[in-house]
């Protein structure tokens, strides 16, 4: 009986702690996108909001609808792999779960950062939007880590780009993504 009381107090404590978290309602992610037929890096703020989850087992947490997706793939890239110059094969979220990814945009646009390092994990979500219809050459992807890099590609159904606001040119910086 005391265990149940202790458990109830602990759950109540967690609920109060959760309520006090300062979590942004909007998600910022780095995007590779086409502008004037050249790939550029941008920091996007998705317009879909994090809202209270209604899915059993997640009630009390937050969820972000990302729309319909199609043919998601879990990929394992070898250490120091060079993905070369390519366009995004389709409009897709890519969550780098582990490892290190180095993006380079070969056609430098004056004043726009042309490189990004994305570390796998909590802040490893990007959107690849520089398909052949928006960018002539695409981007270079390298995986410089001495360990494997794990990526989860999540194409949007119908090639839909999520609604977003461009916060600034270049990849998202720590201040853009920290806190979530």
- pLDDT, averaged across the chain: 87
CATH 2.60.120.10 is held by the domain 24-177: yes
Q: Model-level pTM?
A: 0.84
Q: What is the pLDDT of residues 143-163, one digit of tens each?
A: 999 999 999 999 999 999 999
What pLDDT, on a 0 to 100 scale, did the predictor assign at position 22?
62
What pLDDT, on a 0 to 100 scale, did the predictor assign at position 20?
40
Q: Which alpha helices (H) appear in the chain, and where do they start and end?
A: 2-19, 174-177
Mean pLDDT of 111-117: 87
Q: What is the pLDDT of residues 47-85, one digit of tens each?
A: 999 999 999 999 999 999 999 999 999 999 999 999 999
Q: What percent of the chain has pLDDT over 90?
A: 78
Q: Which of 114, 112, 81 is nearest to 96 (CA)?
A: 81
Confidence at 1, pLDDT banded by 50, 70, 90: very low
Q: What is the pLDDT of residues 17-51, one digit of tens each?
A: 344 446 778 999 999 999 999 999 999 999 999 99
Distance CA 94, CA 143 (A): 14
150 and 119 Cβ atoms separated by less than 8 Å: no
What pLDDT, on a 0 to 100 scale, did the predictor assign at position 109?
67
Q: What is the pLDDT of residues 124-142, one digit of tens each?
A: 999 999 999 999 999 999 9
Rg over CA atoms, the chain? 19
């Amino acid at each position: 009986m005391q265990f149940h009381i202790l458990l109830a107090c602990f759950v109540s404590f967690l609920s109060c702690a959760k309520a006090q978290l300062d979590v942004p309602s909007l998600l910022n992610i780095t995007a590779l996108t086409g502008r004037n037929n050249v790939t550029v890096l941008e920091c996007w703020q998705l317009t879909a909001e994090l809202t209270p989850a209604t899915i059993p087992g997640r009630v009390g947490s937050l969820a972000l609808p990302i729309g319909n997706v199609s043919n998601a793939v879990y990929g394992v890239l070898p250490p120091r792999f060079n993905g070369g110059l390519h366009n995004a094969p389709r409009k897709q979220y890519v969550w780098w779960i582990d490892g290190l990814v180095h993006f380079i945009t070969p056609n430098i646009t004056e004043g726009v950062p042309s490189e990004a390092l994305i570390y796998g994990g909590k802040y490893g979500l990007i959107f690849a939007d520089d398909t052949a219809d928006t960018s002539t050459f695409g981007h270079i992807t390298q995986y410089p880590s001495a360990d494997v890099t794990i990526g989860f590609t999540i194409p949007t159904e119908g090639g839909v780009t999520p609604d977003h606001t461009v916060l600034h040119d270049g990849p998202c910086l720590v201040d853009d993504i920290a806190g979530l």
